[in-house]
Structure formats: C-alpha cells, structure tokens
Amino acid sequence: MAAESGRYTVKSCVRSRFSSEMFRGISTNVTAGISERFAPRRIYSLGWIMMDSELPGTLNVDNFEMRFADISSVEISRLQALSISVGWPHRAADWQHLLDIGKGYVALDEIGRVGASGMWFPHGDGFATFGMLITSPRLQANGAARWLMKRIMTDCGRNRIRLNSTREAQRLYASLGLKPKQTVYQYQGTAIAPLAPPPLEKGLFLRRLDRGDLDTMIAFDAPAFGADRSLHLLRLFESSICYGLYQGERLRAFSMRRRFGRGHVVGPVVAGNDEDAITVTHPHIAAHADGFLRVDTHFDSGPFAGLIQQCGLSIYATLTTMVTEEAASYGAGQNGRARVYALASHSLG
C-alpha cells in the first residue's frame, strides 16, 4: 500500500505443529466440530483434514494494517518496550530527552501496538540526523522499516542526512541513497581508574564548564560536527557534567558525561588532537571507576582509543556512519580544526 495513505498491510502467519495423536483426536468427528482442546482459536477456512506429513507447516491466520502516528502521541512506556524488544538500553528518561529535541513517527497496528519507530533531529537548515529506527522482531524483514524510513525522509525536509546504522539495516539505508563513511565503535564496560594524567603544558588549564561557556563551545563544535547543533548542545548541557580545556581565552577541547542506559555515557568529546581529547575525557572516567561507562567513537586505535581500552572498556558493537551526501559528513579535523572524538549518542551523532 502506498506510503501516502499512511497505512501498510502486513501478513502474519503462525507456525503449527500437531502430532498424529492430536489429529486422530480431532478427526473423529469433523462434522461435529473441532475439539476445543486442540483446535486453534481462530480458523478462517477448513477444506479438509490432512494427516501427519500432509499437514502444511504454516497457517495464515490474520492480515493487519499498520498506520502512522506522531511519536509524541505515544506513551514513553510503550516506546521503551519497543526498544527493549531489540535489546537497546534506553531508560524512560533517555526517550524523553530525544522526544524533547526530535520529531518522528511510530507504526501502530489495528489494536494500537507499537511495531516500529523512527526519529529525526534537525540541526540548522538542510541537515538532520536520524535515529531510534527500530522495528519489532515480529515485523522485521517485511517492508515496515522501509515504509517508515521513506516517510521520515520525506517529512524531515532536509537533503543532508546522517545516521549510524546497525549491520542488519545497512542494505536498507543503501537502497535509499545513503553511503557508508566511517565505523562507530561502541565501547562499554566497568571502568578501571585511569593512570594519573601528565602535567598540562604551560598556559593550559582544565575546568568545569558553565553556561557562560556555551557560545564558545557551540562555535568550536560546529566545524567538527559538520553543522550547528546549538539547540542539542544546550539540551545536553542541562543534563551533563562538562569539562573544557582552555589556552587563555581559546577553547581547545570539551567533553560531556550524562546518565544513559545501564550507567553513564561520555560524549560528545570534541578536540583538536588526541592529547587534548584525552585530557578532557580523563576526569569522566576517573569519576566512574568501578561503574558502567560507555563511549561511542570512530577510533579503534591510537592514543584516544588506547585510553578507553586501558580503562577496561571493550568493543561491544560496531555501527556504520552513513550519509546522503558528502556535505553531511563529520568534519575531518584538517588545518588545525577540531574533530569529534566521541559521539553524544547513535541518534544524535
């Protein structure tokens, strides 16, 4: 069914296994009706009873339609149940954070169950990140994800799109015009206290950031992220512990840490070089020694990745950053510009 209609028909089937004894029990009196003990509750047609090996392995019992609904109209508990069904760790508060700054849709069946979700997060004019693209296990591989993805690509109204894809979803996103760019390494685990950091170079100082640093942080971040994400940084700042590395009045690196999922996540981390990234990440890891910590990064080697690995975090999963066009990519950190060392999240980038 066309996406414009807002409905999508899904065919469902139930596998049936019956023993010879069961069929002998229910075939004794077909005309009198099927035994309540063994018969499926919903039977749409019965031409004849087949015995043993003649029995088909599947039975079509239902056709149902999916429809779009604004994601903000659905209770967070139902959204969280969807993410839990695919093994994602989002708490209710994590969902609320995303709903505060993003838009999106869910796919509902005829009795209101949430079968899929998708969100986009606008970052200035012409650019958006996509996330929370979830399809429940019972609807995977039947076209529901493509149907929903096309809807949000149309409604977000932006040509430059970036997302982080699981391995299973890459083929779908490639068919919709997105191209792979980088691997995301999801490090997590129980943190080990890092070694004491080396002394800072003369003229550098590390401190907690406050609201007076926001404008400087936003301007520093934009070339690294590839767009102005000021509204998102403001929202992240409200729920995060933030550190900045300054040289006089010039910001050289910043980092954030907040509650997420099973523990805490460090990100975003934005810096001009590995040493500065390590300097602003170190206090977050030290603060959560023996606690569950997560860092999502494009690095699996080098000094920054080395710090993460030495502190007990290992690669739990990998994703692929995909874009609709080159202009949607992260900044490359060339000519002395900063780059993103750790993501805020898979959805926000």
pLDDT value at residue 261: 94
> Which amino acid appears at position 90 of this protein?
H
pLDDT value at residue 143: 78
pLDDT value at residue 83: 95
Residue in 16, 17, 23, 27 with CA at minimum distance from that of residue 61: 16
Distance, in Å, from the CA atom of 163 to the CA atom of 252, rounded to the nearest integer, reads 27
pLDDT in tens, the chain (349 residues): 333 346 555 444 333 333 333 333 333 333 333 333 333 433 333 333 333 445 443 323 246 677 889 999 999 999 999 999 999 999 999 999 999 999 999 988 888 889 899 999 999 889 999 999 998 877 766 777 888 899 999 888 888 999 999 998 999 999 999 999 999 999 999 999 999 988 999 999 999 999 999 999 999 999 999 999 999 999 999 999 999 999 999 999 999 999 999 999 999 999 999 999 999 999 999 999 999 999 999 999 999 999 999 999 999 999 999 999 999 999 988 877 899 999 999 999 9
Question: What's the residue count for the chain?
Answer: 349
Secondary structure of the chain in HEC code, one letter for each residue:
CCHHHCEEEEEEEEECCCCHHHHHHHCCCCCCCCCCCCCCCCCCCCCCCCCHHHCCCEEEEEEEEEEEEEHHHCCHHHHHHHHHHCCCCCCHHHHHHHHHHCEEEEEECCCCCEEEEEEEEECCCCEEEEEEEEECHHHCCCCHHHHHHHHHHHHHCCCEEEEEECHHHHHHHHHCCCEEEEEEEEEEEECCCCCCCCCCCCCEEEEECCHHHHHHHHHHHHHHHCCCCHHHHHHHHHCCEEEEEEECCEEEEEEEEEEECCEEEEEEEEECCHHHHHHHHHHHHHHCCCCEEEEEECCCCCHHHHHHHHCCCEEEEEEEEEECCHHHCCCCCCCCCCEEEECCCCCCC
Strand partners, 253: 245, 271
Strand partners, 174: none
Residue in 139, 118, 142, 141 with CA at minimum distance from that of residue 130: 118
Question: Six-digit token pair at 10?
Answer: 């899904």
pLDDT value at residue 137: 78
Are the C-beta atoms of 198 and 276 separated by less than 8 Å?
Answer: no
Using a 10 angstrom Cβ sphere, with 0-12 exposed, 13-18 middle and 19 or more buried, the burial of residue 84 is exposed
Question: Six-digit token pair at 248?
Answer: 């006089």
pLDDT value at residue 7: 58
Residue 180: cis peptide before it, omega within 30 degrees of 0:
no
17-22 CB contacts, 8 Å cutoff, 24+ apart: 18/55, 20/51, 20/52
